[in-house]
Structures are given as C-alpha cells and as structure tokens.
A = this chain, B = another copy of it.
Amino acid sequence: MAKEKKQPRPKAVTPKGFRDYFGTEVTERTHMLSQIAEVYHRYGFEALETSAVETVEALGKFLPDVDRPNEGVFAWQEDDKDWVALRYDLTAPLARVAAQYRNDLPSPYRRYAMGPVWRNEKPGPGRFRQFYQCDADTVGAATVAADAEICAMLSDTLETVGIPRGDYIVRVNNRKVLNGVMEVAGVLDPSNPDALVEERGIVLRAIDKFDKFGEDGVRLLMGKGRLDESGDFTKGAGLSDEQADIVMGFMTARRDTGAATAARLRELVGASVVGNEGVNELEYMAELLDAQGYGADRILIDPSVVRGLGYYTGPVFEAELTFEILDEKGRPRQFGSVSGGGRYDDLVKRFTGQEVPATGVSIGVDRLLAALRAKGRMGSVATGPVVVTVMDKDRMADYQAMVAELRNAGIRAEVYLGNPKNFGNQLKYADKRNSPIAIIEGGSEKENGVVQIKDLILGAQIAANATLDEWKERPSQYEVPRSELVAKVREILESQGK
C-alpha cells in the first residue's frame, strides 16, 4: 500500500477578530434588515449591492475615522499589480457608483445598502473586524429637505423594528452653525478656511466627548490640554477662556422648543454668514418635519450633536435610544446611539471633479439588534423542529412519511438521523434542539395503528414543578390514531403558543 503523507492537523478556529453567527443570530438580523428595507423602499430608496472588493484607489483617502488614522483596510495585490481591498464602509462604494454610473442613475439617486464591512483593526472584546452596516443615502439633492426626509425615515425605521416612540430620539444639528460659532470664537477665518484646521479638529473631537468627559474635560481639551487618569496627555486646541465660552455656549444652546433653540443659535452665530445659513437650514428642516407630523418627541434640534467624521458639511443627525439598560457593573445607563449620519457634499467630487451634494444615514446593525434584545423583542430561544424518533431502524420509510406529512402541513419537523440504537440519545437530541414535540411509533403502536406524541414543553414544566397528583392529571404524552398525527401535533403546538 502506498504510504499516506501525514500533514499536521489544521486548527479549527475562527480567525482573530472574526466571529460565527448561529441560528437566530442570523435569522433575527435578516428579519430586522428586511423590515428596514421595507421602510426604505416605501420612501423611494432603491437597493444597491456592490461587491466586497474595491480598488484601493477608489477607497482612497476616506479612511474609517480621522481619529484613528492608523487603522486601515484588508488589502492585497492583484496579479496585474493593482491593489484592491475589502470595503470598510458602504459610503465609499456609493461614491464610486455615483461617479461611475452618473449618466444612467436617476438624479437625485436614493439608494440603500446592507451588508458586511471589514476593518483591519486590532481585535478586542466585542470589537470585530467584520460587521454589518445598513445605510441609506440621497445623492444629488442639494436641499436639506433630503436630510429631513432621512431623519423622518430613521424615526419610522426605529418604530418599525420595534423601538416604541418615546424610547428613542433623533437629534439634529448643523455643522454650518458650529462653523459660525467657530468663526465668532476666532477659530475659523472664512477668508482663509485652511488655517487653524488642526485646532478645529481638536475642538470638534472635544465636543464629541462631552458625554464622556463633561464640561470640565471638554474645556481642558479646548484649552491647554487634558491629562487622563493613566497619565496620558491629550494636546489641547489652545483656545482662550473667552473663546471656549463661546463654543460651550453653542453646546448648551438647546432650549425647550426648536424655535427657541434656533433663536438662541442665531444670537450665537452673530454676523457669520455660514452660521446664519446653518440656522436657516435647521429651521427649514424643523418646518418640513413638523408638516409631516414629526414633533420634538421624535426629532429634536440639539446643538450638542457633532458626529466625529470630518467630512460632514451641513446637517448632522444621530438616533439615540433613551431607555436604560444595566451596564457590566449593574448600574443603569442609557442605551445610547444606534445610528448617525449627515450631509457630505464632497465625496463624489474626487472621482469626477464635479461637486455632488449627498446626505445619508448609517444604522449600527449589531447595536440595534442588541437594543431589541435588551427590550425583550428578540433573542428568545427559538423553537426547534418536531422530532420523529426512530424506534425501528428498518421502518425509516414510515418515519419519513410522517415527517413529510408534517412538513407539507407547514410544520417544522425532522426525523432523527443519528444512530437510533440508544433511544435516550434521541430524546437528548430533541432537548438540545429545543424541540416542542417528539413522535414515537414502535412496533406495538404500528400494529395498533397509533402513534405516541410527547409534549416536551409541558413535560419539562411538569418535571420541574408538578406534584405527583398534578403529574397524574396532566399527561404530557398522548396516544392518537396514526391518521390524526398532524391534527394532534398542530393542537399541541397551538396550546404551547407556537
């Protein structure tokens, strides 16, 4: 005999930073995404699915986050020397598509996209290198009516997937207002917009960390800098106290009504042209949303919303879930943000030279699923199939006929296909599958034309809780004529609330 070559056995492991999804982890996400797609479709958005791979050139300079410049993409070189990479978001491929098909697509082009994206980051607990995004964007609409529409759609989407009104809020702000405030504070010179870019970046990031560091921490970051508990020093923007006051005034400009907030913002932006433009846009969005019935209980003007990404140019928005969950130490805290977006008018320009206005939103799919599970709207243990046990190996055809009848009646069912020798293993299997019912047809049942039907849910309840008398009174196993199999199974499933 020829000698077999021995190779070392490969390890059966998921690559670092990646994960596997089983059963309901897959189907619940699929279900949620289909609900979201239905809302997007009703709003006139069209599906787009680009490939996972883009040329590195097309992905270009739009790295995931300016705050994390070292983190990148999974890239490799093709045989013809071109470099390609896995997409790190769904916006860069949209920009490429909008440029590539600009003569064929309707304008404005409303599109939605759902799918995995990949980030070449250091994996950590709960931090994965492949995850789902779910985006909707409108390309080619200069009016902030497009932004308002996306905010309304975001609100509808959250309610459709199961976040009740009152448990979420969509907050809206406008980068132009912030720029106006920066102008008043002397950190932005409209005649020289490229000066002080670094300082503005620091200010933006500081504002974005308001929730984390509080007013004092943010003021340190806007001024001389901040030393954290570990001894690390974050460089500040070098603003004077007066300058910082102005920016902080913006942060705390929210009033009870949108109109009052807008009025306060108008004071703050003073004579700044861009600042006034921003306030106008906010007021216009509020007016449009109001006309559609979206009040401040759903969509709110909130100047503390900044959004980290540098490329936003006008309205920015984010959806926050306001109900409380317990954190890892058991303390209640708000669930927080599940979605964000805004206007980014320069993204297509790098391909074509033409400025194309665009606005969009991205939903954090895993965050939203986690929220729905926290609300008890998902994540319950899924019911397994009815299991037809194999009492007599030679009568497999009989068992297959039973299971076919059940399936044809729309009932999830299967025959036990492992080694049938040990009947206990079959019941253990049914238990592991979380089966609601087991079917038994041994030789004597066959002879008498009957089957045994075991209600496994009731059986487990009785085993756990019942007294002997109760146990006697509430049988969890029924003998019925073979011809009544489907009807009895259906009756038991209904009694179980399936």
Residues of A within 8 A of B (CB): 1-2, 7, 9-16, 18-27, 30, 34, 37, 41-44, 46-55, 57-58, 60, 74-76, 78, 80, 82, 84, 86, 96-97, 99-101, 106-108, 110, 116, 118, 129-130, 138, 140-143, 145-146, 148-149, 152, 156, 192, 194-195, 287-288, 290-293, 350-353, 384-385, 396-398, 400-401, 403-404, 407, 410-415, 417-419, 429, 432-433
Contact = CB atoms under 8 A, between A and B. Distances in A.
Main secondary structure on A side of the interface with B: mixed
B415 A145 contact: yes
Contact of A48 (B22, B41, B353): B22
A418 B107 contact: yes
A423 B302 CA distance: 36
A480 to B, nearest CB: 20
A51 B396 contact: no
Given A52-B116, A145-B415, A12 B396 contact: no
B21 A48 contact: yes
Given A10-B350, A141-B418, A148 B44 contact: no
A291 B397 contact: yes
A433 B54 CA distance: 27
Contacts of A385: 43-44
B146 A100 contact: no
B50 A23 contact: no
Given A20-B48, A51-B130, A12 B99 contact: yes
B43 A407 contact: yes
Contacts of A107: 418, 429
A426 B177 CA distance: 32
Query: How many copies of this chain?
Result: 2
19 contacts: A7-B350, A10-B57, A11-B58, A12-B58, A14-B51, A16-B80, A16-B82, A19-B51, A23-B47, A26-B49, A30-B37, A42-B407, A51-B130, A106-B432, A140-B418, A145-B417, A288-B397, A291-B400, A292-B401
A410 B156 CA distance: 12
A415 B143 CA distance: 12
Contact of A75 (B76, B106, B404): B76
A404 B156 CA distance: 11
B400 A292 contact: yes
Given A76-B76, A291-B401, 10 more contacts: A11-B351, A22-B46, A22-B48, A30-B37, A42-B412, A52-B118, A53-B118, A53-B129, A142-B419, A145-B417
A400 B11 contact: no
A417 B144 CA distance: 9
Given A57-B11, A288-B397, A291-B397, A414 B51 contact: no
A429 B106 contact: yes
Contact of A30 (B25, B27, B34, B142): B34
Q: Which 3 A-B pairs have the closest CB atoms?
A: A44-B414, A12-B99, A291-B397
B351 A400 contact: no
A354 to B, nearest CB: 11
A7 B62 CA distance: 14
A18 B49 CA distance: 11
A203 B78 CA distance: 35
A78 B156 CA distance: 42
Contacts of A140: 418
A137 to B, nearest CB: 12
Contacts of A287: 397
B48 A26 contact: yes
Most buried by B among A10, A84, A410: A10
